[in-house]
Structure 1
């Protein structure tokens, strides 16, 4: 299936756009693809660090969505739905390749949290230095700690969504996030308010 880059009404809500897609509207599928390709690609690259494989997983994901559209449920948050689906697609790929024994992510796997320090927000030397230190501190986290930080502060998902994506309980997600924040706070030697401010600035 070739996905055409054609735009439809950008004012449609996620729920409306998804409903159009479920009715077999190919333009709606293209719009879903256009709106969500960037976050999906970046998330996939952080899990796999292999551009060709990530693109294959994305292609397979959208083909599967189109084939199974009549069996899919409504959603009012398409990005969350697709990230969850992509995560499962990548895990299935890893299992098929026999790279990993477990279906779920474990501490031995990688989740890349490198990010650019070239945005307008951090052009000042002092701020750039803080963000570089944050990047270095991120590397000391486990793969699952990195993933929960990414989903929470970069993709701005809530704990219920993160719990479902990562196959955790909501309580387990809170604990994982708290441990990750505490580890970052200790490495950076800053209080929690400053750490949260840095994380909020990360996406800008």
Structure 2
């Protein structure tokens, strides 16, 4: 299993944050803003709500700086915290509508022809086909594809963010890839090649 330790820079920032250095909080915000915002937008598709949830995350990070747990990967900790915050936000919104959430309808990643995938593939026909296929996946399948191929997390990191076992993430990823293969009617190797091309 791959073990990812917090970088020296992140460790220094965390130690400074715990010591009450607001500049460290600003640095963490600047460093991880794009990653957090992109992830949040794929959950909510509402810029104001995402900014509010991110603000709450960093306010809590500051207020609870002396009680922070041991953090092995700062980016993953922040994404996981944002995910929890957004889920709480959506729960509060649903309560106003008297609607109960279930495990599948509270997360919705939108893949469109305007996504980074399509931009990188220059509107390639295969990329459009992949985008359409992704929109047919379940919410959790979309999420694991996003974390694995857009955020480039390994399975142990994904397990932490999605609150699953590592074995469960392997199974979910395999089902998502198989679903993409069946929807697109292509070989699994081609699906993987297209997804892996996002890293380049």
Worse overlay, 66-75 or 93-102: 93-102
Tell me the distance in 2 between the aligned counterparts of 1:149 and 1:165. Answer: 13
Which 4+ runs in 1 deviate beyond 3 A? Answer: none
CA distance in 2, matches of 1:138, 1:200: 15
Give the alignment's TM-score, normalised by structure 1: 0.84
Name the one with the larger helix percent.
2
Unaligned runs of 5+ residues in structure 2 are: 1-6
What are the residue-to-residue correspondences of 1:1-204 with 2, within 5 Å? 13-97=9-93, 98=95, 101-102=100-101, 106-109=103-106, 110-114=108-112, 115-116=115-116, 117-119=118-120, 122-123=121-122, 128-204=124-200
Q: In the comparison of the two structures, how many residue pairs are matched?
A: 187
Q: CA deviation at 1:75?
A: 2.2
Cα RMSD between the aligned structures? 1.9
Distance 1:35 1:43 in 2: 14
Give the TM-score normalised by structure 2. Answer: 0.86
Uncovered stretches (5+) of structure 1, i.e. residues with no partner: 1-10
Would the aligned equivalents of 1:14 and 1:76 in 2 still touch at CA under 8 Å? no
